[in-house]
Structure 1
Amino acid sequence: MAGTAAAVFGFAPASAAADVVPDLRPEQWGLTAIEAYELWEETQGEGTTVALPGYAVVEDHPDLRDNLSVDNAFGGGGDEAVGTAAAALVAAHGHGMDADGGVLGVAPGAGLLALPTEDDLPGAVRHAATQGAPVILLPENDGGEDLSAATEEAVGDGILVVGPAGGETDPSVLAVAGTDEDGELIPDSPEAERIELTAPGADLETADPELGAAQVTGTQYAAAMVAGAAALLRTHYPQLGPDEIRDALVTGSHPGPGGLPALHALSADDHAAATAADVPLLDESLTDGADDGGGVPVWAWFASIGAVLVLGVLLLVVWVRRSSADPYGVKAERAAEDERIAAERAAEAGPESRRKQRGGRRRKPRRGA
């Protein structure tokens, strides 16, 4: 594990005889189990934000700094230990030189938007949907009709909603249960029919509010691992919608406890790649509409180009005329000066010279006159 992570984050030998820079992070078996490291050369979740409505997260933790923003518009509050641990499992980036200390999340390059609240989780979910976060991670909650409406709206807006299994059944939410290092469901897990996907959720090394590390167990932490994996896929295949990402995570999984699917990031990425091959980055319906006559007619394009050319010629003519004109009156002043000098010289030369200047000459007298 340390060797793979070292290669991804740029660790290198200090000299030919020296050992590799030591990895001071704790062993994170969850990342190894889902093979998240294998994807980091392709994507680390850059440009994708995971929203955490209902989670209180410590803003200045060194493993989350720069990845995290906190919006207290919904009253704040909540357990910072749970929120900070879950956020770090999603997108912690470690700290120290070459991130050799602290902990790493499944998607260390992803962004985090925490929306702590104790009494308006549906409002926080709706707000998260307006902030451009393609993945939402729910906390443990009792659900409710209003929350189900909010999650349904989020999915309709192209967002994948992930949450811990065990609350109210909500078809809009990818319900996740936790497993231990032996691949068994953690204690107090819900019935199998309420679980759509399993993920590491026991004895996970993560961040704590005291700016250090902690070890946690719970379904909400397994859901955080899945949200991180969703961020990796969303960055790698932005043309896929929430249904395709959800299917890739579930179908592209490994066999888990009792036949339940177990998260495997590398296999999920392979499944997503196969799906994305048939989904263009550009919406073909837009180009089809243009071909069917819904776009700009060809004659309009030629007319526009002609208008631009005519305008360019007119501007060129105006520029030439202005550049050849005498805006400051210099030529006029010189002409007036020349006339004045000529008049002075004519006055000094006398009448005879003036006749010569006019081209006249004296006629010779006739004979016998």
Structure 2
Amino acid sequence: MLGVTSVPAAAQVEGPPDFRPDQWGQSAIGAAELWEQTQGHGTTVAIPGPSVMEDHPDLRDNVTVNTDHGENTEEMDLGTELGGLVVGHGHGMDADGGVLGVAPEAGLLALPTEDEMGAAIRTASQDSQVILLPSTDADLVEETRAAVADGVVVVGPAGGDDPNVISVAGTDQDGQLVSGSPGAAQIELTAPGDQLYTAGPDLGETQVSGAPYAAALAAGGIALLRAEYPQLSPEQVREVVVQGAQEGPGGLPALDLPTAHEQAAQVTGGDGIIDEDLALEAGEEPAVPVWAWFAVVGAVLVFGILAVALWVRRSSRDPYGVEAERREEDERLAADRAAEEQPARRQKGGRRRKPRKS
């Protein structure tokens, strides 16, 4: 069940409105406590299905829209609201006003589509670390299973029966499940999902309620964990957010990011990226061994010295052309000497006759 309450746009009040003090959902899950370590930089959360207002001031520059599976239509409310809870960064990238998402430095990949959800999920699994499903009504088990096999965490609102999706139900400020929540058997995790401020229509902000928005907060929190510990598998991420949860309504797990972060540190030994393959997945280049740097530098120096020596040798062999002139002079003298030593040819009829005897 979704609920939306309109809030005046930023242009209708004096100065940019700042809703951060009223964003109880981010505070309840402890998002700000992880921001000293990471704000989600290097991770991408994909939302297949709804369109997103990519020029919204709270989302601008954090959103990429892929229209391979459908057009980014004018029906952008749901996608923009979900995106604001995940990657909202406030107005003008300085958070002086507007709303903040759980992972304000993460990227958002919107894949709007009406009838190609399976294909959109397959595309999302190639370019993101987290997929946020706005609904779990459709049968997408095959696609979500493939996404998890590709190392992507899939999150969605509770109510479906897809075992590959971390199913999240919403709670209110009293810690109770919001109206319309499914039974406990269909809930794996709970998160704030009532009267949440987020990016809204007309470039403004709005209040929303419902399980999809609780799933959005969980997806943003998982983006923070994946940014800090990208080597965690989807199964390990699922484990740390559930085992690191606080006790929620009816004993259900309630998302708590600081405790989940501690669980992730225990699973990984407190290390971040641990090998070159994981470094590449996180968008970082693998470290080059020190000996390789010395070998390269040494080779460059040797070739440089040889090149300089060869140039000096060639340029200093006869810098003023003296040897060349001397060779020409020697050749000329030799030619003159050879000409002088050659006997003169006698002219025709010039042979002297012997005198006759008398």
The TM-score bracket by the shorter chain reads: 0.7 to 0.9
- Counting matched residue pairs gives 300
Structure-1 separation of matches of 2:277 and 2:221: 30
* SS, match of residue 264 in structure 2: helix
Letter in 2 for 1:157: D
2:197 to 205, 209, 213: 205
* SS, match of residue 85 in structure 2: helix
Mapped pair 1:136 → 2:124: no
Structure-2 separation of matches of 1:28 and 1:314: 63
2:183 to 175, 191, 205: 191
Q: 1:320 to 1:203 in 2, by over 3 A?
A: same
Q: Which runs of 5+ in 2 are unaligned?
A: 1-15, 279-290, 333-358
* SS, match of residue 44 in structure 1: coil
Q: Is the 8 A contact 2:155 2:215 kept in 1?
A: yes
Q: CA RMSD in A?
A: 3.2
Equivalent residue, structure 2, for 1:44: 39
User: CA shift at 1:118, angstroms?
Assistant: 0.6
Q: Is the 8 A contact 1:76 1:118 kept in 2?
A: no
Letter in 2 for 1:158: G
Q: 1:330 to 1:108 in 2, by over 3 A?
A: same
Structure-2 separation of matches of 1:82 and 1:224: 11
Equivalent residue, structure 1, for 2:151: 158
Q: Is the 8 A contact 1:93 1:109 kept in 2?
A: yes
Structure-2 separation of matches of 1:280 and 1:205: 32
Structure-2 separation of matches of 1:98 and 1:340: 80
Letter in 2 for 1:152: R
User: CA shift at 1:335, angstroms?
Assistant: 2.9
Residues 294-325 of structure 1 show CA distances to partners (whole Å, capped at 9, x for unaligned) of xxxxxxx9xxx8xx97x987885565344312
Structure-2 separation of matches of 1:141 and 1:156: 19
User: CA shift at 1:204, angstroms?
Assistant: 0.5
Equivalent residue, structure 2, for 1:260: 252
Letter in 2 for 1:46: H
The aligned runs of 1:87-102 (5 Å cut-off) are: 87-96=83-92, 98-102=94-98
Structure-2 separation of matches of 1:135 and 1:252: 19
User: CA shift at 1:113, angstroms?
Assistant: 0.4
Mapped pair 1:237 → 2:229: yes
Mapped pair 1:85 → 2:81: yes
Equivalent residue, structure 2, for 1:367: none
Mapped pair 1:324 → 2:320: no
* SS, match of residue 65 in structure 1: coil
Equivalent residue, structure 2, for 1:76: 71
User: CA shift at 1:282, angstroms?
Assistant: 3.0
Q: State the identity as a percent.
A: 51
Q: Which runs of 5+ in 1 are unaligned?
A: 1-21, 287-300, 345-369
Structure-1 separation of matches of 2:330 and 2:67: 88
2:18 to 20, 24, 46: 24
Q: Is the 8 A contact 2:264 2:270 kept in 1?
A: no
Structure-1 separation of matches of 2:102 and 2:132: 14
Structure-2 separation of matches of 1:37 and 1:218: 23
Equivalent residue, structure 2, for 1:275: 267
Q: Is the 8 A contact 1:24 1:100 kept in 2?
A: yes
* SS, match of residue 143 in structure 2: helix
Equivalent residue, structure 1, for 2:8: none
Q: 1:99 to 1:165 in 2, by over 3 A?
A: same
Residues 230-273 of structure 1 show CA distances to partners (whole Å, capped at 9, x for unaligned) of 01101111221111111111110011111110111111111111
1:215 to 182, 185, 207: 207
2:322 to 297, 315, 334: 334
Mapped pair 1:149 → 2:148: no
Structure-2 separation of matches of 1:326 and 1:108: 62
Q: Is the 8 A contact 1:107 1:228 kept in 2?
A: yes
Residues 149-184 of structure 1 show CA distances to partners (whole Å, capped at 9, x for unaligned) of 1111110011100011112x1111101111111111
Q: 1:28 to 1:317 in 2, by over 3 A?
A: closer
Structure-1 separation of matches of 2:313 and 2:277: 54
Letter in 2 for 1:58: M
User: CA shift at 1:143, angstroms?
Assistant: 2.0
Q: Is the 8 A contact 2:229 2:271 kept in 1?
A: no
Structure-2 separation of matches of 1:229 and 1:197: 12
Q: Is the 8 A contact 2:58 2:93 kept in 1?
A: no
Equivalent residue, structure 1, for 2:103: 107
Letter in 1 for 2:202: E
Residues 326-368 of structure 1 show CA distances to partners (whole Å, capped at 9, x for unaligned) of 599755x423445778999xxxxxxxxxxxxxxxxxxxxxxxx
Letter in 2 for 1:100: D
Which structure carries more relative contact order (alpha carbon 8 Å, separation 6+)? 2
User: CA shift at 1:23, angstroms?
Assistant: 8.0
